[in-house]
Amino acid sequence: MIRLEKRPTPSRFWGAATPVVAVILTMIAGGIMFALLGKDPVAAIRIIFWDPLFSEQFASYSRPQLLIKAGPLILIAIGLSLGFRAGIWNIGAEGQYIIGAICGAGFGLAFYPSENPLIFPGMVIAGLLGGWAWAMIPAILKTRFRTNEILVSLLLVYVAEAILASAATNWLRNPDAMGFPGSRNLSRHPGTDNPELIAGTGMHWGVLAAFIAVIAAYVLMNRHVLGYHIRLAGQAPRAARFAGVEPNRLVLLCLGISGALAGAAGLFEVSGPAGQISIDFNSGYGFTAIIVAFLGRLNPIGILFAGLLMALTYIGGELAQLMLGIPAPAIQAFQGMLLFFLLALDVLSNYRIKWAREAAA
């Protein structure tokens, strides 16, 4: 008979080890899934996790992709992690990402064809504000009316997608595109472009912003009283209230920061790798970032590594699609599985496992 005994404090060893074990278990379970699809599991895992970085044939293309894909994931996940720590669940980052991209792109296109160097910083600010404003809807509804922020932020993703569809086909459509949907290309126009900063690395302004966010979040969580309040509110809400932490202020702050960062991520994407507002430029980063935040243990440094790993599965997944004909959704299932294993293994850091005799109970 197995019995769980609560640890007085979570185990530090298992806290660090669970992501690694979860990745290994996901590789095994994913291998089984690929075998069921009739593909060679060992080759599939190698193509996903090894070839994008080290194969002579593909690495030159896929290495820069690593930062391109990790950038938005890390930027969004950092924002989400603050709220998740405080027990404030913004799961609508995908919507904030879309609205940020639309606002930023709209700002840039309003000055078209100017190439003024101030336009791009303005676009970034517009993106931040757009994502922030979209996240303020669930935040204000929560603080004013106690409406559940999980449901509102998520439902707003579908509203954002409807707005995106009308932007791409109607009011942001490229007037010179002869009726084709999609805005003007931002990345090929100087002034509105988010270029590769160091050739061959995939580094663009959004990746830089993600690195800055990691450092800022690290300082905030470990050195600033606000970080302490966030952690306190998550672990002991009652104690936090006695300590003078204003729950409504935390809701506005956490949702606001995560919305702004998601909005910025959307702007960097649409002015760089995606290039334009199109009906499906958003590729689910806002949802995958939830997995990144948990895989990184809601810790800034952990999120950095988790974002890179998740980016690797995206790139490796595309490669596996090309080489082995593994269907694209397999990777999404694979990423979901990773979160399952991670959550399942968490029991090891919070509880001690005891093998007790039946009679003793």
- What is d(CA 275, CA 183) in angstroms, rounded to the nearest whole number? 9
What minimum distance in Å lies between the beta carbon of 165 and other proteins?
7
Question: Does 152 help bind other proteins (rule: CB under 8 A)?
Answer: yes
What minimum distance in Å lies between the beta carbon of 264 and other proteins?
23
Question: Does 289 help bind other proteins (rule: CB under 8 A)?
Answer: no
DSSP states of 138-159 as a string? HHHHHHHH---HHHHHHHHHHH
Q: Which stretch binds other proteins (CB under 8 A): 66-74, 115-123, 189-197, 322-330?
A: 322-330
Q: Are 241 and 247 in contact (CB under 8 A)?
A: yes
CA-nearest of 79, 73, 74, 75 to 258 is 79
353 φ/ψ angles, rounded to the nearest 5 degrees: -95, 125
Q: Which of residues 227-286 bind other proteins (CB under 8 A)?
A: none
Q: Which of residues 329-358 bind other proteins (CB under 8 A)?
A: 329-337, 339-340, 343-344, 346-347, 350-351
What tokens were used for 154?
């998520």
Q: Which x/- pattern, by CB under 8 A, does the window 1-20 give for other proteins?
A: ---x-x--------------
Q: Which x/- pattern, by CB under 8 A, does the window 38-77 give for other proteins?
A: ----------------------------------------
Applying CB under 8 A, which of residues 17, 29, 133, 159 lies at the interface with other proteins? 159
What minimum distance in Å lies between the beta carbon of 288 and other proteins?
8
Applying CB under 8 A, which of residues 25, 59, 141, 323 lies at the interface with other proteins? 141
Q: Which of residues 163-202 bind other proteins (CB under 8 A)?
A: 163, 165-166
What minimum distance in Å lies between the beta carbon of 183 and other proteins?
16
Burial 135-149 (b: 16+ CB within 10 A, else e): bbbbbbbbbeeeeeb
- Strands 2-6, 351-355: pairing is antiparallel
What minimum distance in Å lies between the beta carbon of 285 and other proteins?
13
Applying CB under 8 A, which of residues 16, 20, 110, 162 lies at the interface with other proteins? 162
What tokens were used for 212?
């800055």
CA-nearest of 293, 356, 265, 348 to 11 is 348
What minimum distance in Å lies between the beta carbon of 56 and other proteins?
30
Q: Are 72 and 309 in contact (CB under 8 A)?
A: no
Q: Where are the beta strands (DSSP E) in the chain?
A: 2-6, 351-355
CA-nearest of 262, 256, 330, 314 to 293 is 262
Residue 250's contacts (CB-CB under 8 Å, 6 or more residues apart) are 86, 88, 229, 230, 233
Residue 20's contacts (CB-CB under 8 Å, 6 or more residues apart) are none
Applying CB under 8 A, which of residues 67, 287, 303, 319 lies at the interface with other proteins? 287
Question: Does 310 help bind other proteins (rule: CB under 8 A)?
Answer: no
Toward other proteins, which CB reaches closer, 298 or 304? 298
What minimum distance in Å lies between the beta carbon of 184 and other proteins?
20
Q: Which residues bind other proteins (CB under 8 A)?
A: 4, 6, 89, 91, 141, 144-148, 150-152, 154-159, 162-163, 165-166, 287-288, 290-291, 294, 327-337, 339-340, 343-344, 346-347, 350-351
